């Protein structure tokens, strides 16, 4: 039996931290919304400089489990220079949880799935 720790946010998000995102708008519909709710990404890169930044989307979050179905017909996931896996650009306010330990966020997702 897994022990679910209470989630604590210390507001020191750093590159390579694990994250859970909840984007305000999702072009891929419910399928991609479910993907965000049930998958953990990794903060890969902070986007800066004129051409790299679109609006306030400054955080590049890479996901290991993005399928072709998630990527087609929308721009929720794309490729970024220097990032090995498909990623999503998000604002800081769209990152709802983060941790250096992936297990903490797995427990967070489990707790949300069981309404704990």
pLDDT, tens digit only, all 116 positions of the chain: 454 545 455 568 999 999 999 988 888 788 888 888 999 999 999 887 655 555 566 899 999 988 888 777 667 778 777 788 888 888 899 999 999 999 999 999 998 878 76
- Which stretch of DSSP H or E encloses residue 98? strand 95-99
The pLDDT assigned to 1 comes to 46
The pLDDT assigned to 20 comes to 96
CA 60-114-33 angle, 5° bins: 35
The pLDDT assigned to 32 comes to 86
Question: In the chain, which ranges are continuous DSSP H helix?
Answer: 29-38, 68-71, 102-113
């Amino acid at each position: 039996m897994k022990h679910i720790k209470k989630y604590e946010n210390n507001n020191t998000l750093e590159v390579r931290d694990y994250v859970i995102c909840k984007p305000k708008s999702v072009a891929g519909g419910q399928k991609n919304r479910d993907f965000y709710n049930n998958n953990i990404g990794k903060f890969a890169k902070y986007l800066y400089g004129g051409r790299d930044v679109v609006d306030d989307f400054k955080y590049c979050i890479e996901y290991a489990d993005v399928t072709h179905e998630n990527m087609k017909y929308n721009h929720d996931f794309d490729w970024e220079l220097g990032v090995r896996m498909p990623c999503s650009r998000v604002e800081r306010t769209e990152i709802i949880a983060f941790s250096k330990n992936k297990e903490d966020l797995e427990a967070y997702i489990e707790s949300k799935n069981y309404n704990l």
